[in-house]
């Protein structure tokens, strides 16, 4: 049997020397990324978009479509800069945003480095799309939300986006990590939001004392242990404490669901990102009624729970726990973090998608 044909690619010096137009370098960068098998997921999900974002940044071009520039010829210095950045992305296997020091989310720029997760929360899209649609069907008072909490704020992107989308609201961003909060402070300053975004440090709700909020946004660490073990290097470059959610991903989520009622106003809403952990979430909270808010990435990745639903679930659990011998009593005695096997979705979940939206 003859050996498989060996494909070859121009090395970095040859690429910088011989490829003249931006279009050529884009093609080369895509080939390099495909060949190296890098992982995506920090703002892009394919080689072309990753290459385009890096090329635009390296050439000081505005973020957006690359198409208007494809025919542009580059100087040798520019070509070398592009080639070096592409090679660095491959060699370090670090998210592009950590190389460029910035990330864009819903049209806003955020300073970005390894002190915090690269901003990409699905909650950002929901603030513009699914949440306003849900609110049309579940109206609140006109001044809602006056107080917003971004729990687990990291570099502060969601707190800042929320302050931008709800200009009359006061926003608090809370996180355990002092390093992440230092980055959040930089971002708050660059968006001129020192007066409306407060940053506090501590374990979940602890620094918030008895304060209540109309809207709590939370993108907690929720990656389950098996998925953590399989993370590609790009994700391992991010702080582990920003991702790891314990055996079933629900370690922090359990505490958030338990403590949120004490921090939500009467018409309050908790908007919680759970990513691909819907089965684990449903298994962990069989007594809880909630809504899924659909986003482009999926229909069961964002959970919306109303204050009344949280209170009702807590009351149901307490009542059942008072009856000895019931499953709920056994569940109430189960140590925190001891989850059961996931079970299929049940009727207690309510569809949050307004009529006429995607199937
Ligand atoms: C998934 S990141 C989210 C960051 C940011 N909100 C975003 O969406 O880009 C989770 C954040 O939770 C923080 N965190 C982890 N454990 C925490 C705890 N016990 N209390 C408060 N924050 C915690 C981490 O430091 C990290 O910044």
pLDDT, tens digit, for every residue of 239-285? 999 999 999 999 999 999 999 999 999 999 999 999 999 999 999 99
With respect to residue 219, please indicate whether it lies within any of the assigned structural domains.
yes
Whether the per-residue pLDDT at 338 is higher than 80: the answer is no
Q: Are 179 and 155 in contact (CB under 8 A)?
A: no
Whether the per-residue pLDDT at 339 is higher than 80: the answer is no
Whether the per-residue pLDDT at 343 is higher than 50: the answer is no
* Residue 158 sits in the same domain as residue 52: no
The protein residue whose alpha carbon is closest to atom 2 in ligand 1 is 242
> Please, how many CA atoms are within 13 Å of residue 109, restricted to the half-sphere of its CB?
12
pLDDT of residue 331: 55
> Which residue range forms the structural domain that includes residue 55?
12-93
Give CA angle at 79 (10, 33), nearest 5°. 50
| Calculated CA dihedral for residues 183, 184, 188, 190, nearest 10 degrees | 30
Whether the per-residue pLDDT at 350 is higher than 70: the answer is no
Pocket, ligand 1, Cβ cutoff 6 A: 116-117, 119, 121, 152-154, 157-158, 175-177, 180, 203-204, 219-221, 241-242, 252
* Residue 199 sits in the same domain as residue 268: yes
Q: How remote is the CA of residue 338 from the centroid of ligand 1, in Å?
A: 22
pLDDT of residue 327: 60
Polymer length in residues for the chain? 359
> Please, how many CA atoms are within 13 Å of residue 282, restricted to the half-sphere of its CB?
18
* Residue 61 sits in the same domain as residue 142: no
With respect to residue 352, please indicate whether it lies within any of the assigned structural domains.
no
With respect to residue 298, please indicate whether it lies within any of the assigned structural domains.
yes
pLDDT-based confidence at 336, cuts 50/70/90?
A: very low
* Residue 169 sits in the same domain as residue 290: yes
pLDDT-based confidence at 6, cuts 50/70/90?
A: confident
Cα gap 295→282, rounded to integer Å:
18
pLDDT, tens digit, for every residue of 245-257? 999 999 999 999 9
- Residues 126-145: what's their mean pLDDT? 97
* Residue 303 sits in the same domain as residue 163: yes
Please state the domain count of the chain.
2
- Residues 323-331: what's their mean pLDDT? 64
Q: How remote is the CA of residue 224 from the centroid of ligand 1, in Å?
A: 15
pTM (predicted TM-score): 0.90
* Residue 88 sits in the same domain as residue 167: no
With respect to residue 48, please indicate whether it lies within any of the assigned structural domains.
yes
The CATH number of residue 251's host domain is 3.40.50.150
Phi/psi zone of residue 273: left (φ > 0), alpha (ψ -120 to 50 degrees), beta?
Answer: beta
Contacts of 221 (CB under 8 A, 6+ apart): 152, 241, 242, 243, 244, 245, 251, 252
* Residue 64 sits in the same domain as residue 193: no
Whether the per-residue pLDDT at 337 is higher than 90: the answer is no
With respect to residue 239, please indicate whether it lies within any of the assigned structural domains.
yes
Count of CB atoms situated within 10 Å of the CB of 180: 24
109 beta partners: 104
Which of ligand 1's atoms lies nearest the C-alpha of 252? 19
> Please, how many CA atoms are within 13 Å of residue 9, restricted to the half-sphere of its CB?
16
């Amino acid at each position: 049997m003859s050996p498989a044909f060996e494909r070859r690619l121009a090395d970095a010096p040859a690429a910088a020397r011989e490829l003249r137009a931006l279009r050529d370098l884009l093609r080369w960068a895509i080939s390099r990324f495909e060949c190296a098998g890098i992982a995506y997921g920090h703002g892009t999900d394919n080689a072309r978009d990753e290459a385009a974002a890096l090329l635009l940044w390296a050439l000081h071009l505005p973020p957006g479509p690359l198409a208007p520039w494809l025919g542009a010829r580059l100087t040798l210095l520019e070509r070398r800069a592009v080639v070096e950045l592409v090679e660095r992305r491959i060699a370090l296997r670090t998210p592009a945003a950590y190389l460029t020091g910035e990330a864009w989310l819903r049209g806003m720029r955020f300073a970005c480095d390894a002190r915090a997760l690269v901003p990409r929360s699905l909650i950002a899209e929901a603030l513009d799309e699914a949440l306003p649609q849900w609110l049309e069907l579940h109206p609140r008072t006109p001044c809602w939300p006056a107080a917003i909490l971004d729990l687990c704020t990291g570099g502060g992107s969601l707190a800042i986006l929320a302050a931008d989308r709800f200009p009359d609201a006061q926003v608090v961003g809370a996180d355990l990590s002092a390093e992440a909060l230092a980055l959040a402070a930089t971002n708050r300053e660059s968006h001129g939001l020192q007066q409306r975004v407060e940053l506090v440090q501590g374990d979940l709700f602890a620094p918030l004392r008895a304060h209540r909020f109309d809207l709590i946004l939370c993108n907690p660490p929720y990656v389950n242990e098996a998925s953590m073990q399989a993370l590609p290097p790009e994700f391992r470059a991010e702080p582990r404490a920003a991702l790891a959610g314990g055996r079933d991903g629900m370690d922090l989520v359990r505490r958030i669901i338990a403590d949120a009622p004490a921090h939500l106003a009467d018409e309050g809403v908790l908007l919680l990102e759970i990513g691909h952990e819907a089965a684990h979430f449903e298994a962990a909270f069989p007594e809880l009624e909630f809504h899924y808010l659909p986003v482009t990435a999926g229909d069961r990745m964002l959970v919306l729970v109303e204050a009344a639903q949280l209170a009702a679930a807590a009351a149901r659990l307490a009542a059942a726990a008072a009856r000895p011998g019931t499953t709920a009593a056994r569940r109430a005695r189960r140590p925190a973090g001891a989850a059961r096997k996931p079970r299929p979705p049940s009727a207690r979940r309510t569809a949050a998608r307004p009529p006429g939206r995607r199937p």
